[in-house]
Amino acid sequence: MARKGIHFLKTVSAPEAERIWHAALKLEPLGGEDVSLSEAQGRILDDDVVVPVDVPPFDRALVDGYAVQAADTFGAEEDAPATLELLPETAPAGAVPKSEVAGGKALEVATGGVLPRGADAVQMVEHGEVDGGKLLLYRPVAPGANIQTAGADMRMGETALRAGQRLTTRELGVLAALGLDTVRVSRRPRVAIISTGDELFPPGRPLEAGKIYDSNSATVAGAVRDNGGEPVFLGIIPDDEGALRAACEEARAGFDAVILSGGTSKGAGDLTFGIIDGTAAPGILVHGVSIKPGKPIVLGAWDARPVAVLPGFPTSAITTFNLFVAPVLRRLANLPMEAEAEPVRARLAVRYHSAEGRQEHLLVNLVPRAEGKPAAYPIAGASGSIYAFAQADGTVEVAADRGVLREGETVRVAPLAPTLRVADLTLIGSHCRGVDLALAMLRKHARVTAKVVNVGSTAGVEACARGEADLAGVHLLDPESGLYNRAALERVGADGVRIKGYVRRQGIYFRKEQFPGEPPTLDTLSGMTELRMLNRSRGAGTRVLLDLLLDGIARDKGISPEVLRAGIAGYDAETRSHNAVAAAVASGRADWGLGIEAVAVAYGLGFAPLRDEEYDFLTLRDRLERKPVQAFLNVLRSTEFRDALGALPGFVPDATTGEPVA
């Protein structure tokens, strides 16, 4: 039969073989399917998971004790206790207290119990004594002490898990904490495995004369599982045309990929070649690659689905599988393309104070640095957060006699998963919808994995200067010049580069029913003590803008900025993202806050514009040339990104978006 110009063992290079094969295949993930959490372990998340409800859903006590107003405890000492009226009601876990804690009163609350209205702290039970209807407290307590606020772990509207993540026990815990019992995962490719040859014999039976056990089927099946596929063994097929043709027709009809083992050499191979070419177009594409071992590998396709015939020798079979088949299966299964890294030693990014006297396993995020070891970022306040546990890369064991870990010291990071893979691209800085949009396109088109650490613009600048961020997303207004991000670039140093981002509109979030007429102004809201705000974390560009505007209002009123801020209920309450602020306002937990317009629209909130700002990216010159960084900048420059960004309310891309600028 004609062989379409392909000659037996006309070898080509490995890159050329891959190019020819990939050109004939449809190398896209196979889509998603919904599975229960009990079936989801090890699967790949197909869609981003957005937090549908605050976790925890209410302010709760972290210790057994007494819910109080912290101001009532100031000055309490062992010989001069604070005396409060103890309310008769108690707040066990699972019950909602009906009483309100007013000044001078206290209510007994259990660990995990709902914090009663009016209370802003919980004093531990061991620091108090009940005397009739009175409570004597022998130590003061600070506002917010021993409380986990609603949404402290995860806030409604935030992205908890991103498409492409492998679901381990940690991610399953996050999903369960969100109240989800199913999750959408990428469908695994079903892979038919066929062993060919009269000499093959199935394991588990006494070996007959002239036969060898078929080891390749088990080896290849395990490799398929390792690379995200579901192997199905169709059996050992003898060198019989009818039997082999029937097996190939079955494989073609019901599977996403087909792997045959054996039958690549001349003689027996002639039978295999004819059947593969005759089953479906285009048939065999490559026979023979200049590698050792594995030269006689056969690569083909049936209707854009991969077909591979691996050499019969086990070493050759697994070598050629890893080189050619594994990358294809990982593309179909929506898995990262590169092998995951081994555990590493890292440089501690910041000084860390440990709980001296106790052995601590400190959760850390790992980010690559321009030179030397990766940087380990401690995750603070992680003891009550399943989300922090899910996001961590590993742990650093801190000995009981160590009170402080010094910035820059080498630490050993033990992975939380069997393998540890540092992301291709690290972004540290300000949270933005535009970044989320760009990263989704980056993974789709370039299959680049990213680690995003939302710590605010100021911390992003510092991380960039230390060489710990590939890119820092910033929107910092310089009050002296009135310009965005130029002063931040100077803080990075002479090697810093500013990448033009885009314009986005900042303003006030509020519920429309509260202000049915004219939208509120910041001047008005700052004086309405009955309304509560939710602020962004210190160092965030939005927080910097708020403080600058409040400074101006304070000057106009002839008061100090500190006095003005002290009168704003909720000013000291912080959160990580615009989505979290919007979710709090929409739910009524807060009455107003600052953020970008697109998020306000998404949550159905009112929006009072304050200022258009420049959101840019900072990097270092040596990081600028990294392929993942260039891939991200290519996304920013693309028409697809600019069109999608421009469709978001309040976002305006620029003709130079994605380009280095002065």
Exposed/middle/buried for residue 248 (C-beta within 10 Å: 0-12, 13-18, 19+) = buried
Q: Contact 60/108 with Cβ under 8 angstroms?
A: no
- pLDDT (tens digit, 9 = 90+) per residue, 524-574? 999 999 999 999 988 788 998 999 999 999 999 999 999 999 999 999 988
Output the pLDDT for position 576: 77
Confidence of residue 4 (pLDDT cuts 50, 70, 90): very low
Output the pLDDT for position 341: 44
Question: Crossing angle of helices 433-446/639-646, nearest 10°?
Answer: 150
Tell me the mean pLDDT in the region 612-636: 94
Q: Contact 593/569 with Cβ under 8 angstroms?
A: no
Confidence of residue 484 (pLDDT cuts 50, 70, 90): very high
Tell me the mean pLDDT in the region 106-127: 96
CATH number for the domain whose boundaries are 351-422:
2.40.340
Q: Contact 616/498 with Cβ under 8 angstroms?
A: yes
| Higher per-residue confidence, 148 vs 382 | 148
- pLDDT (tens digit, 9 = 90+) per residue, 632-648? 999 999 999 999 999 99
**Record: fold of 32-55+153-186:** Molybdopterin biosynthesis moea protein, domain 2 (3.90.105)
Phi, psi for residue 479 in degrees, rounded to 5: -65, -25
Most confident range (mean pLDDT) of 113-122, 391-400, 578-587 is: 113-122
Q: How distant, in Å, are the alpha carbons of 23, 52, 63, 182 from that of 179?
A: 43, 8, 24, 9
Output the pLDDT for position 546: 94
- Check whether 152 has a pLDDT greater than 90: no
In the chain, where the domains are located: 14-30+188-332, 32-55+153-186, 60-148, 351-422, 437-448+465-661
Output the pLDDT for position 393: 85
- pLDDT (tens digit, 9 = 90+) per residue, 292-305? 768 889 999 999 99
Q: Contact 399/385 with Cβ under 8 angstroms?
A: no
Tell me the mean pLDDT in the region 452-463: 86
Separation CA 582–CA 156 (nearest Å): 9
User: Could you give the percent of the chain with pLDDT greater than 90?
Assistant: 61
Tell me the mean pLDDT in the region 35-42: 95
472: β partners: 618
CATH of 437-448+465-661, one of 1.10.3470, 3.40.190, 3.30.70, 1.10.10: 3.40.190
Tell me the mean pLDDT in the region 97-111: 96
Output the pLDDT for position 7: 43
Q: What secondary structure, in 3-state letters, does 518-556 show?
A: CCCCHHHHCCCCCCEECEECCCCHHHHHHHHHHHHHHHH
- Check whether 328 has a pLDDT greater than 90: yes
Q: Contact 382/389 with Cβ under 8 angstroms?
A: yes
- Check whether 366 has a pLDDT greater than 50: yes
Separation CA 45–CA 171 (nearest Å): 10
Range list of H helices, 341-429: 386-391
Separation CA 73–CA 84 (nearest Å): 9
Separation CA 216–CA 244 (nearest Å): 17
> Fold match between 14-30+188-332 and 351-422?
no
Q: Contact 3/273 with Cβ under 8 angstroms?
A: yes
Q: State the Cα torsion 451-452-453-456 to the nearest 10°.
A: 160
CATH number for the domain whose boundaries are 14-30+188-332:
3.40.980.10
Output the pLDDT for position 2: 37
Q: Which CATH superfamily is domain 60-148 in?
A: Molybdopterin biosynthesis moea protein, domain 3. (2.170.190.11)
- Check whether 125 has a pLDDT greater than 80: yes
DSSP 399: -
Output the pLDDT for position 205: 87
Most confident range (mean pLDDT) of 184-188, 422-426, 516-520 is: 184-188
Separation CA 430–CA 282 (nearest Å): 50
CA Rg value for the chain: 31
- pLDDT (tens digit, 9 = 90+) per residue, 52-102? 988 899 999 999 999 999 999 999 999 999 999 999 999 999 999 999 999
